[in-house]
Amino acid sequence: MKILILGGTGFVGRSVTEAALGRGWDVTVFNRGRGRPAPGAAALRGDRTAGKAGLAALESGEWDAVVDTWSGAPSAVRDAARLLADRAGHYTYVSTRSVYAYPTPAGLPEDGPLVSGASPDEEGDVPYPQAKLGGELAALGAFGDRALLARPGLILGPYENIGRLPWWLNRTARGGPVLAPGPRDSPLQYIDARDLAVWVLDAAEQRLNGPYNTVSASGHATMGELLDACVRVTGSDAELRWTDPATILAAGVEPWTELPIWLPEGELHDALHRGDVGKALAAGMRCRPVSETVADTWTWLKSMGGVAPQRPDRPPVGLAPEVEARLLAVG
């Protein structure tokens, strides 16, 4: 297949690029040139924040499929999708499960209620859920039933530029007592970016359309299994100190940001770690063991000198050492 990847050098886009190249596909990436494309991919340059003028490099060419990972203002998706609609066979927009209206009940399928206030024409700073839903609307507006909406939640794996799993790996690598947010059997729901990439490419070949929740089944791994794997692959003397969620919350620690990946039981946990993914699983989505994701991310992170890239539009995550020490002393 001949595929165009809008982005293609960071995290999910990079994983899609490498997976497509691994299949022997003809791969073109389109971006601003800040990231280096994977060897073997052709590169087109342009700036989607510059409106239609920034898409000049896409004014010619034909592709069997397009994959778009944009997470900014939806007007950028609108402009690209309209420009490509007559010259591309299929359009995958990598969206998010954040498009569902909150609170998102456990087991919510793809036809659940969505956030309000989204438009494909919005420009400038747009809240993340509305930006992603606006991107979905833009893809559908241009491609109709040739548009696939992949809705992942938590994404982990090599090339992560948010910092969640890299933070845990670096923390356990330092060793000593480690604050571990309980309970250790708390179910997680996530997807390795490489598994997402494989499914997206398979779906493009099959011309799947419409929305799919693209994360693992809830409980594919637990918080305990994830952190045990971090300790094991780093080879450190880290000692996980499992701590009651009430103690952590009473100290003012923010789940998800200060303790990445972790959420206590409740509405947020239901929204992020208990979604219905039966549709994607039936369509062939497969998720590798958490031990493999953790080990491969550690190998990549070491190759980066222990410093993962950081998306400029996302704040750093992780718990301050002094806060952790104070909580460990209480425990």
Question: So where are the chain's domains?
Answer: 2-151, 160-188+219-273+289-330
Distances (CA, A) of 107 to 266, 273, 284: 13, 10, 19
Which residue is associated with the tokens 């499992």?
Answer: 242
Distance separating alpha carbons of residues 259 and 213, to the nearest angstrom: 24
pLDDT of residue 331: 66
**Orientation angle between helical segments 290-303 and 164-174, nearest 10 degrees:** 80
Neighbours of 59 (CB within 10 A): 11
**Is-same-fold flag (2-151; 160-188+219-273+289-330)?**
no
pLDDT of residue 5: 98
pLDDT of residue 123: 94
Identify the CATH number of the domain defined by range 160-188+219-273+289-330.
3.90.25
Neighbours of 144 (CB within 10 A): 11
Q: How far is CA 103 from the centre of its chain?
A: 20
**Nearest partner of 3 among 79, 75, 87, judged by Cα:** 87
Q: Which residues of 63-81 are buried (b: 16+ CB within 10 A; e: fewer)?
A: bbbbbbbbbbbbbbbbbbb
State both tokens at 320.
């301050």
Q: Where are the beta strands (DSSP E) in 69-105?
A: 91-94
The pLDDT tens digits for 165-183 are 999 999 999 999 999 999 9
Which residue is associated with the tokens 């066979």?
Answer: 89
State both tokens at 238.
């880290």
Cα angle vertex 204, ends 219, 308, to 5°?
A: 55
Residue type, 324: E
CATH class name, domain 2-151: alpha beta
What pairing do the DSSP bridges indicate for beta strands 221-222 and 187-188? Answer: antiparallel
Mean pLDDT by 10 residues, the chain (331 residues): 95 98 98 90 95 94 98 97 98 98 96 98 96 98 98 98 98 98 98 98 98 98 98 98 97 97 97 97 98 98 96 92 95 66
Q: What DSSP character marks residue 119? A: -
Distance separating alpha carbons of residues 12 and 122, to the nearest angstrom: 24
